[in-house]
Amino acid sequence: MQTLHHQQFVQLHQASQGVLLLPNAWDAASAKIFEASGAKAVATSSASLAWACGYADGGALPPDELLDAVARITRVLRVPLTTDMEDGYSQDPAEVGRLACELVDVGAVGINLEDGSDTPALLAEKIRAIRAALKGKPLFINARTDVYLRQLKVEGAPAQASIARLKLYQQAGADGAFVPGLTALPEVTEIASGVAMPLNVMAMPGLPAIAALQAAGARRVSVGPSPFQVAYEHARTSVEALLQQDLAPLLGPRMDYSAMNRMLTLVR
């Protein structure tokens, strides 16, 4: 099943399949809902998953908690799961390689791995360490560069700096290119045509329509922590209303109890 899911996930990035619309889950229930809604694959959001486990985003989540959460998600899913590893939760490439192997062992078929404010050379070294540790086991490595998201100071234009980093990551063994914060269509086209890996962009204010992104060369659109934020904002405002003696938000549109229970009862 692991190999089949990996093959399916790779195929979903091909141009002939259209753009891959990838919802980001934070636990088994959210992942199962997204699958039941028609998602062909599911991702985790590092922020959402960390928050759901009671930790802040940004490397605070213990790797054991990550592995347990991913195992719970893959137990219920019948579509491929890719997992956000942040920076690998370590500056030691060997440790990052070991964690990636453990994620494969609990059912992940892909990962995101970011450079953040570290040097591109370090991320390339981590990717090489993952490939060495996997010993040929398949894993889709989506290399993320934060040139746009963190507005990093780089030589030259951000698009060209991103392309240079992504080419380095591909040489190290990456399969995909992730550029969160990228929203301008001309730059989407420039990066998509400048890198021989499928380009992933992330939903955020100012992002063009999905059809326009696809025409510009993007092959994957993920949504980061947005589903978590939408769900928890509704929960927050509903409980605030409750505390003001207003039950209406909690008794309005909501996930059907029987449907949710049936969805998870059918899991083997």
pLDDT of 267 > 80? The answer is no
The tokens of 50 are what?
């960390």
Query: Three-class SS of residue 114?
Result: strand
- Distance, CA of 112 to CA of 114 (rounded, Å): 7
The tokens of 245 are what?
């003696």
- Distance, CA of 202 to CA of 38 (rounded, Å): 19
User: Quick one: which H or E segment has residue 178?
Assistant: strand 176-178
Average pLDDT, whole number, for the chain?
Answer: 97
User: What are the tens digits of pLDDT across the range 137-170?
Assistant: 999 999 999 999 999 999 899 999 999 999 999 9
Q: What percent of the chain has pLDDT over 90?
A: 96
Q: Which of 64-78, 127-141, 251-265 has the lowest mean pLDDT?
A: 251-265
pLDDT value at residue 174? 98
pLDDT of 29 > 70? The answer is yes
pLDDT of 122 > 70? The answer is yes
pLDDT value at residue 18? 94
pLDDT value at residue 67? 98
Given the structure tokens 């996997």, which residue do they identify? 134
User: What are the tens digits of pLDDT across the range 224-259?
Assistant: 999 999 999 999 999 999 999 999 999 999 999 999
Mean pLDDT of 116-128: 97
Mean pLDDT of 2-6: 89
Confidence of residue 1 (pLDDT cuts 50, 70, 90): confident
Instruction: Answer yes or no: are the C-beta atoms of 108 and 70 closer than 8 Å.
Output: yes
Q: What is the SS3 assignment for 47-81?
A: HHHHHHCCCCCCCCCCHHHHHHHHHHHHHHCCCCE
- Distance, CA of 50 to CA of 19 (rounded, Å): 27
pLDDT value at residue 30? 98
2-225 folds as TIM Barrel (3.20.20)
Q: 13 pairs with which residues across the strands?
A: none
pLDDT value at residue 268? 61
